[in-house]
Amino acid sequence: MSKKIKRIGVLTSGGDSPGMNAAIRAVVRTGIYHGLEVYGIMRGYSGMVEDEIVTLENRSVANIIQRGGTILKTARCKEFMEYEGRKKAYENLTKRGIDGLVIIGGDGSFRGAQIFSNEFNIPCIGLPGTIDKDIAGTDFTIGFDTAVNTAVEAIDKVRDTAEAHDRLFIIEVMGRDAGYIALHSGIATGAENILIPERKTDINDIIASLAEKEKRKKLVNLIIVAEGDEFGANELSSLISEKLPTLEVRVCILGHIQRGGSPTCMDRLLASRMGYHAVESLIEGRHNVFVGILNNKMNYTPLNEAVKKKQHINDEWMNIVKILAT
């Protein structure tokens, strides 16, 4: 039998994503509803090591569901990567009697949670908070919907000026290791080409396609590039300009605006549902898993599996891109 959880800590780790505050709110209020004491750990694992831990009440999370970022802050923590740092973190939890953790973050955060739990027998539940949607075991991650909608809104505006000037725009979106933001925003905005890390880019094919479009006077084109693709937006622009000097090529890098902003309804609902089930999982004794949603049903993936698997791009998506961009 698992021991009864009485006090839980919640933290946000890694890159921030819209909806993290909604998840924090759900964890705090569900915990308090069940009679648990809830603590907020500031700045991710760094706050655990440095003893930046505060008590959270219902009022502590009032009026945050609509806010981007995270009220608990987030940071990378090199000290937590070493055993001595993790031991220090454990001691800080122990003196408050914290006997369960909810970690909101990506695969790196889950990896830290898995190691920490194995070493000190602290039950951990992960919530997938990342705009990249790159964690296997869930259809969506907290923040992805907001980030991709931010990208779509920006790309639509860029297309307006592209139309006005008959230009080719190369737009770089976030996605260091995963191309889901590029894929979804590219399809939604009618991009002619989408470059993602998961697929090798055939630069000759892109140039041939643009040359063919130029012959039939299709001068307005959008190419969406994930930042982790082998060709960055600027390099791609130089190559195309060299091969097709008559084309007017412009580059737009969207950058960190994709991380911020008020979360969409979908991200608020997703975060609230996941946060609720994270606390329920700790109470029920379902430990060391991350909470995901597959086919609109809750799915629980062991942390040791979550850190080994990546969400894969379905070939059907790439076929859709090819057919709809003609």
Whether residues 40 and 100 share a domain: the answer is yes
Whether residues 165 and 99 share a domain: the answer is no
pLDDT of residue 310: 67
pLDDT tens track for 56-112: 999 999 999 999 999 999 988 899 999 999 999 999 999 999 999 999 999 889 999
Q: Which domain holds residue 181?
A: 144-259
Give the mean model confidence (pLDDT) for residues 151-167: 91
Sheet with strand 221-226: strands edge to edge: 193-195, 221-226, 168-173, 249-253
pLDDT tens track for 307-323: 666 667 778 888 888 88
Above 80 in pLDDT, residue 126? yes
Closest to 129 measured CA to CA, from 179, 176, 74, 86 = 74
Q: Examine residue 2 and state whether it is found in any structural domain, yes or no.
A: no
Compute the C-alpha angle 307/309/310, nearest 5°.
110
This prediction has a pTM of 0.93
Give the domain-ending residue among 259, 281, 315.
259
Q: Examine residue 254 and state whether it is found in any structural domain, yes or no.
A: yes
d(CA 216, CA 223): 18
Place of tokens 């990506």: 106
SS3 content of the chain, % helix, strand, coil (to 5): 45, 20, 35
pLDDT tens track for 283-313: 999 889 999 999 999 999 998 887 666 667 7
Instruction: Characterise 277 by phi-psi region: left (phi > 0), alpha (psi -120 to 50), beta (else).
Output: alpha
First to last CA, the chain: 60
Total domains, the chain: 2
Above 60 in pLDDT, residue 267? yes
pLDDT of residue 326: 67
Active-site positions?
132
Whether residues 121 and 60 share a domain: the answer is yes
Question: Alpha-carbon dihedral of residues 108, 113, 118, 119, nearest 10 degrees?
Answer: 100
Model confidence at 208, pLDDT cuts 50, 70, 90, reads confident
pLDDT tens track for 15-54: 999 999 999 999 999 999 999 999 999 999 999 999 999 9
Instruction: Characterise 88 by phi-psi region: left (phi > 0), alpha (psi -120 to 50), beta (else).
Output: alpha
d(CA 201, CA 286): 42
Whether residues 130 and 20 share a domain: the answer is yes
Whether residues 35 and 109 share a domain: the answer is yes
pLDDT of residue 307: 67
Whether residues 87 and 229 share a domain: the answer is no
Closest to 46 measured CA to CA, from 107, 109, 127, 99 = 109
Whether residues 139 and 151 share a domain: the answer is no
- Whichever domain contains 24, its CATH number is 3.40.50.450
Q: What are phi and psi of 312, to 5 degrees?
A: -100, 145
Structure tokens at 279: 């606390």
pLDDT of residue 280: 97
Q: Note the helical H segments in the chain.
A: 20-33, 45-49, 83-94, 107-120, 144-165, 180-188, 203-215, 233-243, 265-284, 303-306, 315-324
pLDDT of residue 319: 85
- Whichever domain contains 199, its CATH number is 3.40.50.460
